[in-house]
């Protein structure tokens, strides 16, 4: 076969199945073709979670309400950590809502391969569809929980006049997007690294819990002003996102364009590394999972 | 290059690691990674044994498939046959992109949909309708395509009444029918099907095969994997016969099937003993036992129509014994199909032969084992030899459109008239 036929040959085929790991590019065209599957996965997640419950989606808001009350009692009153003068309900509610979205999405996407081995072993579709659908269904849950925060926020802003939101509220979609992409990036990286050797799984489950304490969820960042830990907490890419959120909505918080850009770059990097690793692993994981 | 080729498999091999994932695999992974990092070849690709279940494990790696090449043209129906463990499922997994070959490549033109199981992605909490969309989308259809086929699917499955009920309330039959209905209405250029015919009742099987036939006549390409030679024979123009991960034969279906049947029979049609290892005792010594199928052509398989002779040669070590033989025929599952006795006879010392004729059209298809018992004076057991012979009876080419397993321990030809 001469060179010309090889070239025309490769152009003719729609799919080439090989064991070569060289293909690191994401097949966006194919992802797009399966967009209906993505939306159906989201729909399935949303409607199956609370099937056969009486309260249904109300459970989405009961969780953060109960958690907020617990935090108010434990961290606010017993431990007396303080909230930088922000009404306690608002302070904990925003932290819990943001953290909940990040950790839920991370936890579920980091099990993509192991939990879906059955379906992956039987049929092909772009594997990335599944973690993407988890990010999207998590976003729906987040939106409902955010409405709860929104109501409390309106109350404290308009009725109580206790907080001072500002124009940075407009960057909310960017902040949420960063959270979504970061949890996705971490999640698919972890699931790719734990298909064969599961050791990491043990680390991840409590690691995510511990990471909450390295993020200003239950304490205000201002409390670290003169602490040697301040820089470490800042290096946590979640910190600037959480703080920007608080600053925009409540007027109290640490807003730094520099650290936001740091988070953005970090997110993009983890996403790229995650997608590349995921693409490599998805071809063969069925054999080792 | 032939323009009509839609699937081109080029020297594909698939290696699997045996045993558990643990520290041993980590050290192999590290060595492999180190070799590749230095630009060398994967050291573990050179080793590995043929995937033959009859041999003992001698390596950590096994080749489930080794150097398989084939082309499929557009509109072809290709059957893939082989015993369990021959590599059929692995090949299907590669074709349906569930996993990738260790070496080699498969090139495909057009959309592939694979049915390695029916109802993939069915969620018990979702209703029939929701699951149709879910399952259809997983199999590669868009919402629009599913909507346009929705009524047809519901009609085919016969579940109109229950379409808004969660499928966890469905009977297993309804569940399977719905699942197959979705799959049957896929319209990919290439359809890969694995043994789905094994599910459902006879009527539904018929419906499924009919549907597959329709798909084939539409000019679409089908790859069909089955143990059911009848179905393969009817549906497939050409067939690929896999054996221990290699292509044992390929080509025109009936030729390949005959080859398969003659090679894969796990028969023990003949046993001959030397004096030292012969089963026996002070009264009787076995010499030979054999199954002699009355076939026109020696390599033909034994079918349900074949007349079979069973013959035993033995030496009587004592003189003047009043002896008879009793033969037990067991099915593969261990049920005794029948027990027949020879007439009792006073025999002199020396060699004797006993012969049983099993007529054609008595046994059903399946694997049979023979045990033999010698009885003296019609009451006392002298010698019992278990599992002395084994043979397999295959189904014959059947007309009609039903290819399921014929029920029953035996399949006699009886006079059954209808006026």
Q: 3-class SS at B221?
A: strand
Return the pLDDT at B171: 87
Domain B5-9+72-263 fold is Rossmann fold (3.40.50)
The whole-model pTM stands at 0.76
Contacts of A19 in chain B (CB under 8 A): 100-104
User: Per the CB < 8 Å rule, is B138 touching A15?
Assistant: no
Return the pLDDT at B182: 86
Here the ipTM equals 0.81
Contacts of A12 in chain B (CB under 8 A): 109
Give mean pLDDT, residues A56-61: 83
Taking each helix axis from N to C end, the angle separating B172-184 and B128-138, rounded to the nearest 10 degrees, works out to: 40
Alpha carbon distance A126, A131 (integer Å): 10
Residue of A nearest to B110 (CA): A14
pLDDT in tens, A174-188: 999 999 999 999 999
Mean pLDDT computed over every residue of chain A: 87
- Contact by Cβ (8 Å): B313, B287: yes
Structure confidence at residue B199 as a pLDDT band (50, 70, 90): low
pLDDT in tens, B143-194: 999 999 999 999 988 888 899 999 989 888 888 888 888 887 877 888 888 8
Q: Where are the domains of chain B?
A: 5-9+72-263, 270-393
Just give the CATH number of B270-393.
Answer: 2.70.50.60
pLDDT in tens, A124-147: 899 999 999 999 999 999 999 999
Q: What residues have CB less than 8 Å from A89, skipping those under 6 apart?
A: A68, A72, A152, A156
User: CA A161: distance to chain centroid?
Assistant: 32
- Contact by Cβ (8 Å): B130, B178: no
Q: Tokens standing for A138? A: 């998590």
| B window 16-35, beta carbon within 8 A of A | 16-17, 21, 25-26, 29
- Decide if B134 touches A, using CB distance below 8 A: yes
pLDDT in tens, B297-311: 777 788 888 999 999
Kindly tell me if the per-residue pLDDT of B208 is higher than 80. Answer: no
Alpha carbon distance B148, B150 (integer Å): 6
Which of B19, B126, B137 to mutate against chain A (most A CBs within 10 Å)? B137
Which of A5, A9, A15, A121 to mutate against chain B (most B CBs within 10 Å)? A15
Q: Tokens standing for B176? A: 């399977």
B173–chain A nearest CA distance, Å: 21
Residue A240's alpha-carbon distances to A74, A82, A170, A245, in angstroms, are: 25, 19, 16, 8
A103–chain B nearest CA distance, Å: 25
User: Per the CB < 8 Å rule, is B97 touching A288?
Assistant: no
User: Per the CB < 8 Å rule, is A197 touching B26?
Assistant: yes
Kindly tell me if the per-residue pLDDT of B91 is higher than 80. Answer: yes
Taking each helix axis from N to C end, the angle separating A88-109 and A237-250, rounded to the nearest 10 degrees, works out to: 140
Q: Tokens standing for A14? A: 């729609």
pLDDT in tens, A157-206: 988 888 888 889 999 999 999 999 999 999 999 999 888 777 777 888 88
Which of B37-51, B137-151, B343-357 is least confident?
Answer: B37-51
- CB neighbours (10 Å) of residue A154? 11
CA atoms within 13 A on the CB side of B202: 8
Q: Are strands B190-194 and B221-225 parallel, antiparallel or unpaired?
A: parallel
CA-based diameter of chain A, in Å?
A: 80
């Amino acid at each position: 076969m001469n060179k010309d036929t090889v070239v025309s040959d490769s152009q003719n085929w729609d799919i080439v199945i090989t064991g070569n790991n060289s293909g690191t590019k994401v097949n966006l065209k194919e992802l797009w073709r399966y967009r209906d599957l993505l939306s159906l996965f989201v729909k399935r997640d949303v409607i199956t979670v609370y099937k056969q419950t009486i309260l249904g989606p109300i459970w989405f808001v009961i969780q953060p309400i109960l958690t907020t009350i617990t935090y108010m009692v434990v961290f606010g009153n017993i431990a007396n950590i303080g909230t930088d003068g922000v009404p306690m309900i608002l302070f904990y509610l925003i932290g819990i809502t943001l953290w909940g979205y990040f950790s839920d999405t991370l936890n579920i996407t980091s099990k993509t391969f192991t939990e879906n081995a059955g379906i992956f072993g039987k049929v092909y579709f772009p594997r990335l569809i599944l973690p993407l659908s988890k990010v999207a269904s998590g976003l729906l849950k987040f939106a409902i929980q955010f409405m709860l925060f929104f109501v409390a926020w309106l109350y404290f802003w308009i009725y109580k006049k206790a907080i001072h939101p500002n124009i940075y509220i407009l960057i909310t979609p960017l902040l949420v997007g960063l959270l979504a992409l970061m949890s996705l990036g971490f999640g698919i990286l972890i699931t790719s690294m734990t298909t064969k050797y599961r050791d990491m799984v043990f680390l991840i489950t409590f690691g995510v819990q511990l990471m909450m304490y390295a993020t200003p969820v239950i304490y205000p960042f201002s409390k670290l002003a003169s602490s040697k830990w301040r820089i470490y907490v800042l290096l946590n890419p979640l910190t600037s996102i959480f703080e920007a959120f608080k600053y925009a909505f409540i007027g109290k918080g640490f807003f730094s364009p520099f650290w936001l850009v740091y988070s953005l770059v970090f997110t993009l990097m983890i996403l790229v590394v995650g997608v590349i690793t995921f693409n490599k692993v998805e071809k063969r994981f069925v054999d080792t999972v | 290059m032939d323009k009509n080729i839609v699937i081109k498999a080029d020297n594909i091999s698939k290696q699997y690691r045996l045993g558990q994932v643990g520290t041993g695999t980590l050290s192999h992974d590290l060595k492999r990674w180190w070799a590749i990092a230095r630009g060398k070849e994967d050291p573990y690709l050179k080793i590995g044994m043929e995937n033959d279940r009859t041999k003992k494990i001698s390596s950590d790696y096994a080749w489930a498939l080794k150097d398989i090449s084939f082309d499929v043209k557009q509109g072809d129906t290709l059957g893939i046959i082989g015993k369990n463990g021959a590599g059929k499922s692995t090949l299907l997994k590669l074709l349906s992109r569930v996993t990738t070959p260790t070496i080699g490549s498969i090139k495909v033109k057009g959309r592939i949909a694979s049915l390695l199981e029916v109802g993939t992605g069915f969620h018990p909490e979702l209703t029939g309708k929701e699951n149709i969309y879910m399952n259809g989308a997983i199999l590669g259809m868009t919402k629009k395509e599913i909507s346009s086929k929705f009524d047809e699917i519901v009609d085919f499955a016969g579940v109109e009444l229950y379409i808004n009920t969660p499928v966890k309330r469905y009977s297993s039959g309804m569940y399977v029918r719905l699942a197959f209905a979705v799959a049957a209405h896929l319209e990919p250029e290439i359809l890969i099907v694995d043994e789905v015919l094994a599910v459902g009742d006879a009527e539904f099987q018929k419906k499924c095969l009919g549907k597959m036939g329709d798909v084939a006549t539409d000019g679409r390409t089908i790859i069909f994997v089955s143990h059911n030679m009848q179905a393969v024979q009817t549906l497939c123009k050409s067939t690929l016969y896999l054996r221990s991960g290699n292509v044992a034969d390929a080509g025109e279906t009936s030729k390949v099937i005959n080859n398969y049947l003659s090679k894969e029979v796990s028969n023990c049609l003949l046993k001959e003993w030397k004096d030292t290892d012969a089963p026996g005792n002070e009264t009787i010594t076995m010499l030979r036992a054999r199954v002699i199928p009355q076939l026109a052509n020696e390599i033909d398989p034994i079918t349900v129509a074949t007349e079979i002779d069973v013959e035993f040669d033995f030496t009587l070590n004592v003189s003047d014994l009043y002896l008879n033989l009793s033969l037990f025929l067991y099915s593969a599952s261990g049920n005794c199909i029948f027990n027949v006795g020879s007439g009792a006879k006073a025999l002199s010392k020396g060699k004797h032969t006993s012969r049983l004729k099993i007529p054609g059209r008595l046994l059903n298809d399946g694997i049979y084992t023979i045990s033999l018992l010698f009885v003296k004076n019609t009451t006392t057991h002298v010698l019992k030899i278990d599992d002395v012979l084994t043979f397999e009876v295959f189904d014959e080419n059947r007309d009609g459109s039903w290819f399921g397993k014929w029920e029953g321990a035996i399949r006699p030809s009886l006079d059954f008239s209808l006026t």
